[in-house]
């Protein structure tokens, strides 16, 4: 079973299971912050249209991208410990097969962690919220309190959850700048989400992203 999964992932992520390199993130021009803040809304209905691979990369970079030679990232972290991990459960991204991917900030790449994609499992784990089935991708903000606890002890849970919020807001503002829509979802069964994604970290937020349905 394990061997079969490895072969599937190798086909998804590239020859030999190599990471998928994302297009370089855009760091200039684009929509202004004031405009993105004014336009951000929680959107729960999406079309079936896929999003571009470069847009997925831009969203993940906004959440946890590395922005300096010292390793600092787009979102602040207590003590610079960076306990967060972003995952992307892909349904419809041009140039990328449907699967679950882990974002690798230091190389701005994706590593496939599970095939195939799991929108129905996330939908079931999150009280059957339709946005999770319709979205082109669901970005999962997950993390490990233990990483922060090594320095901050009992304050670690508070700090880690705050960081999840920082990263999520970055992702959602970037979605606006890209002409996409999103919504933060916190109502879900953590154990079911962990099982669906086959991850060890604690999931803190699910962010469906897609093209807005106009009615």
Output the CA–CA distances (angstroms, integers) from residue 86 to 65, 95, 144, in the order listed.
10, 20, 12
Secondary structure (3-state) at 120: helix
**Domain limits of the chain?**
2-210
The yes-or-no verdict on residue 15 having pLDDT over 50 is no
* Residue from 121, 63, 126 nearest 91 by CA: 121
Confidence class for position 118, pLDDT limits 50, 70, 90: confident
- In what helix (H) or strand (E) does residue 206 lie, and over which residues does it extend? strand 202-210
At the topology level of CATH, where does 2-210 sit?
A: NADH Oxidase (3.40.109)
pLDDT at 117: 66
Q: How far apart are CA 115 and CA 14, in angstroms?
A: 13
Alpha-carbon gap, residue 9 to 97, rounded angstroms: 10
For 32-81, what is each residue's pLDDT tens digit? 999 999 999 999 999 999 999 999 999 999 999 999 999 999 999 999 99
Please state the pTM of the whole predicted model. 0.91
Percentage of the chain surpassing pLDDT 90? 86
């Amino acid at each position: 079973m394990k061997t079969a999964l490895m072969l599937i992932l190798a086909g998804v992520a590239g020859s030999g299971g190599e990471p998928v390199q994302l297009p370089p993130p855009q760091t200039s021009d684009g929509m202004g912050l004031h405009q993105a803040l004014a336009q951000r809304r929680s959107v729960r209905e999406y079309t079936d249209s896929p999003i571009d691979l470069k847009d997925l990369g831009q969203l993940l970079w906004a959440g946890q991208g590395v922005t300096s030679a010292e390793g600092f990232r787009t979102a602040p972290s207590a003590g610079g410990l960076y306990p967060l991990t972003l995952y992307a459960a892909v349904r419809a991204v041009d140039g990328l097969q449907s699967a679950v991917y882990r974002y690798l900030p230091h190389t701005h790449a994706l590593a496939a962690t599970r095939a195939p994609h799991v929108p129905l499992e996330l939908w079931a784990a999150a009280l059957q919220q339709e946005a999770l089935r319709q979205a082109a991708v669901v970005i999962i903000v997950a993390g490990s309190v233990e990483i922060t606890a090594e320095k901050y002890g009992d304050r670690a849970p508070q700090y880690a959850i705050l960081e999840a919020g920082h990263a999520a807001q970055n992702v959602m503002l970037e979605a606006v700048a890209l002409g996409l829509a999103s919504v933060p979802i916190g109502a879900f069964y953590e154990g079911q989400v962990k099982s669906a994604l086959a991850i060890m970290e604690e999931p803190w937020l699910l962010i469906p992203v897609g093209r807005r349905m106009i009615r």
